Amino acid sequence: MTRLLVTATVLSSAWAQSGTEVPSLTISTVVASPSASSGATLPPQVDVPPKQDWCPSDIFCAGQLLQTVNVANLYIDPKTFVDKPTSQSPSSVASTFSGLNNNAPQNATFQQILDFVDTEFKGEGTELEALPLPEFNANPAFLGNVSDSLVKAFAQTVNGFWTQLIRGTNSSTLCNGVQCESSLIPLNHTFVVPGGRFREQYYWDSFWIVEGLLQSELFDVVNATLQNFMDELDTIGFIPNGGRIYYLNRSQPPLFIQMLHRYVTVTGDRSILDRALPLAEKELTWWLTNRSVNITSPSSGQTHTLYHYSVNNSAPRPESYLTDYVTANGDPTNSSTFTGLNLTQRSALYAELASGAETGWDYTARWVRGLNDRSLNDSFPSSWSLRDLEVRNTVPVDLNSILHRNYVLLSSLYPSNSSRASSHLESASRLQAGILDVFWNSTKLAFYDFNLRTQRQNTIFTAANFYPYWSGIIPEELLRDTSSTQERVQGAFASVRMVMERWNGTFPSSFVDTGLQWDAPNAWPPHQYIILSALRALPTNITSSPPISASNSSSSSFSLVPTDQLGLTESELPGQPLAPNQNSSTSGSAADINFVKGPTDNQMTVVNGGNPQGDQEGWAHTLERELANRHATGGSIPNVLPRLSDQELNVTQSQNNTGNMFEKFSNLDIDSAGRGGEYTVQAGFGWTNGVLLWVASNYGNVLESPNCPDLLASAQAEGGVGSDTGSSGSGSGSGGNDGGSGDGNDDNGAALSSRKMGLWGTVVLAVVVGLFA
């Protein structure tokens, strides 16, 4: 059934409207809950890993204290502990720990460790403070681009969310390393946090946050964000993963130059370049020095300098210590499974785990040996684990596309006749040649990662395939003006068409359901942004034709996907739930549950796919419109849209939604938050808000309130399966889960999700989705 309109609760406090009052920042006081009885002795431990040069703290970095506290398993999320400043001096804390259990802390009881943490540490996040947002504009100009009144009201609500995510370093509670110690890297300027456990400034999240801030006309906040990154380049030499000392051995996808370019382009403020350009050069040099590798192409024999993620690390990540510890050693509370790796194997695995975190995709089948290079029709490995990671052996197409775009955009920030400008364009040209030579597969019409172990392309198809197009790299096969041009170029994007017609949500990270959070069914806002941007980057001479139809009426949209492009047969694709214990067909036209004819015979679309732009729309614009219109709902917009009754919301099990923007959503259920990963689904959420506002600004004319059914009548008539038709109006409850639970309840509302919603989800996939309830 189609869901209803996504709605949101307008922030009621004054600061949400004016931005001049300081919102209260609740400091987390997660209650510790030991994993065993308080008097029980801690389980045995493996040897403590060596101290890491990049992380010298005896409290928050690899060492006996950190390992022992983690083995006690006091918190659901290991990050909780390392974000707690000490309440005493570091030497006092270390001395108290060493004295536990008659100077044998590794054999202490769970209660002793609990008492130690409660006494010696303060609440996580106390070094930060919420800040006012005096430049907040409740009616930024982009809202004028949004035609639909309900969509506009929703976007305006999300625009107000920045006031909840603005932070600064609290100088009055900041530790100096003498009286107390903290893992925080203090920042000198205002910043926006993603939300939830991510209470610091993060690197690649900030790119999409900046996109949204620019739409919201919060230019000072964008400048401050860039200044913080420049401070880190000045003092650290690179931009770390996030604002904590335990991130100092790794970066994230390098998007600083692109944030800088967007800021200068939108604001015209070139004064920032005096400081920024030398530091942008410094970052590029860091990546070239520390993350480049020479690859000889198997097809051309040419050698190219390309980039991969490769972190120097031989200990568990402090923020995920117990997770990594168990991955390497087994469950310490179960002697039958506590069969770990040897020291060399553990060190290599810890480097892989940290490298996986540097990618931003932690974790995915992309990095798993046996999953990333599986041949079509081969059976999947009978068993695999994160011990099979080979991140450092994987040369990712998206990372190289990001760096290519960095060179192009940095060149444009210099005077056109400068030697720097021409030098960066030459670097971009070389990198583009390498990307096309090493990653592009002209038979499958897709880009794939390259594997240093096998010396060939991996076979797994992921959303990373679209990054080269976003960076302006379009293979020659797609540009040639021949009779087969349309078949090729539409084939390259046929997976997007398939997702729109086959599933209720937006584009997943991959089509392999591994349980890892960067695989199916999870759909992430940044990927929807990249896919939309990739479609926008295509030249109009190859995008103006109408969509190609399947070869016959009994075929599904899968038939339009080039052979072996996805590395899966159609029957291996995830099924779309229609009702409890019932999925849609996995093959044939019945699999395309969302397909409908467009306003004319030569135009097709999907259920609630937005406002078609007539016969001249073209296939690429059709996909953009459909992807930008994924949405859900369940809340209300004061004075605009009333909340549905509990009886109606109960039909989709949405009556208890908390009204959160999540970091990820489900490809199978637009109402559901994503699942899997090392931590519970996070609410907030910075990059979700940013992508949503960008979508509203760029696609406001095609965003359309969905056609919504009468939930109660539909449920009664179809026994839980909604119909495709109905009256428009307030909508059904969206579904995400309640912001703190883990897996996102894929089955929530499944009985009513046999159709995709429309409206808006910001492409963001529904990100919007469930947003507020």
More confident residue, 41 or 599: 41
Distance CA 476, CA 478 (A): 5
Distance CA 691, CA 194 (A): 13
Q: pLDDT at position 608, please?
A: 76
In tens, the pLDDT along 432-474 reads 999 999 999 999 999 999 999 999 999 999 999 999 999 999 9
Within 13 Å and on the Cβ side, how many CA atoms surround 529? 22
Q: pLDDT at position 737, please?
A: 27
In tens, the pLDDT along 716-765 reads 776 544 333 333 333 322 222 222 323 333 322 222 222 233 323 333 32
Residue pair 566/495 in contact (Cβ under 8 Å)? The answer is yes
Q: pLDDT at position 770, please?
A: 30
Distance CA 69, CA 138 (A): 45
- 513-527, 536-550, 675-689: the lowest-pLDDT one: 675-689
Q: pLDDT at position 337, please?
A: 65
Neighbours of 610 (CB within 10 A): 28
Q: pLDDT at position 551, please?
A: 78
Q: pLDDT at position 678, please?
A: 52
Q: pLDDT at position 176, please?
A: 86
Q: What SS3 state is found at 597?
A: strand
Q: Which of 424-433, 702-711, 758-767 has the highest mean pLDDT?
A: 424-433
Residue closest to 209 by CA, chosen among 763, 689, 683, 628: 689
Q: Can you tell me which residue has the tokens 């994230």?
A: 252
Q: pLDDT at position 713, please?
A: 80
Within 13 Å and on the Cβ side, how many CA atoms surround 540? 2
- 462-466, 573-577, 585-589, 647-651: the lowest-pLDDT one: 647-651
**Global pTM exceeds 0.85:** yes
Band of the pLDDT at 667, cuts 50, 70, 90?
confident
Within 13 Å and on the Cβ side, how many CA atoms surround 182? 25
pLDDT at 108 over 80: yes
Residue pair 665/523 in contact (Cβ under 8 Å)? The answer is yes
Q: What SS3 state is found at 522?
A: strand
Q: What SS3 state is found at 395?
A: strand
pLDDT at 714 over 80: no
- 384-393, 586-595, 609-618: the lowest-pLDDT one: 609-618
Q: pLDDT at position 368, please?
A: 97
pLDDT at 4 over 80: no
Q: What SS3 state is found at 729?
A: coil
pLDDT at 40 over 70: yes
Residue closest to 406 by CA, chosen among 294, 251, 589: 251
Q: pLDDT at position 726, please?
A: 32
Q: pLDDT at position 8, please?
A: 31
Q: Which of 360-374, 397-411, 607-621, 632-646 has the highest mean pLDDT?
A: 397-411
3-class DSSP string for 652-691? CCCCCCCCCCECCEECCCCCCECCCCCCCCCECCHHHHHH
Tell me the average pLDDT across 221-234.
98
Distance CA 601, CA 605 (A): 11
Tell me the average pLDDT across 130-150.
95
Tell me the average pLDDT across 393-408.
99
Q: pLDDT at position 21, please?
A: 61
Distance CA 291, CA 743 (A): 34
DSSP assignment string, 106-135: GG-BHHHHHHHHHHHB--TTTTEEE---TT
Q: What SS3 state is found at 171?
A: coil
- 65-74, 110-119, 532-541, 613-622: the lowest-pLDDT one: 613-622
pLDDT at 150 over 50: yes
Q: pLDDT at position 25, please?
A: 52
Band of the pLDDT at 48, cuts 50, 70, 90?
very high
Q: pLDDT at position 331, please?
A: 84
Tell me the average pLDDT across 387-415.
98
Band of the pLDDT at 510, cuts 50, 70, 90?
very high
Tell me the average pLDDT across 25-54.
81
Q: pLDDT at position 22, please?
A: 56
Identity of the amino acid at 490: Q
How is residue 53 written in tokens?
A: 């040069």
Q: Which of 17-31, 221-235, 624-638, 660-674 has the highest mean pLDDT?
A: 221-235
Question: What is Dmax (Cα atoms) for the chain?
Answer: 82
pLDDT at 118 over 80: yes
Q: Which residues, 6 or more positions from 555, have their beta carbon under 8 angstroms from its beta carbon? A: 588, 589
Q: pLDDT at position 657, please?
A: 67
Q: pLDDT at position 1, please?
A: 24
Return the percentage of the chain with pLDDT > 70, whole number: 83
Q: pLDDT at position 602, please?
A: 57
Distance CA 560, CA 452 (A): 31
CA triplet 146, 203, 662: central angle to 5 degrees? 50
Tell me the average pLDDT across 241-248.
97
Distance CA 421, CA 407 (A): 9
Q: pLDDT at position 766, please?
A: 30
Q: pLDDT at position 754, please?
A: 27
Tell me the average pLDDT across 622-634.
79
More confident residue, 722 or 481: 481
Peptide bond before residue 132 is cis, with ω within 30 degrees of 0: no
Q: What are phi and psi of 283, to 5 degrees?
A: -65, -45
Sort 325 into a burial class: Cβ within 10 Å, 0-12 / 13-18 / 19+: buried
**In the predicted model, what is the mean pLDDT of the chain?**
85
Return the percentage of the chain with pLDDT > 90, whole number: 65
Residue pair 467/397 in contact (Cβ under 8 Å)? The answer is yes
Band of the pLDDT at 572, cuts 50, 70, 90?
very high
Distance CA 389, CA 359 (A): 13
Beta-bridge mates of residue 577: 583
Rounded (10°) CA dihedral 43, 47, 53, 57: 30
Q: pLDDT at position 28, please?
A: 52
Band of the pLDDT at 542, cuts 50, 70, 90?
very high
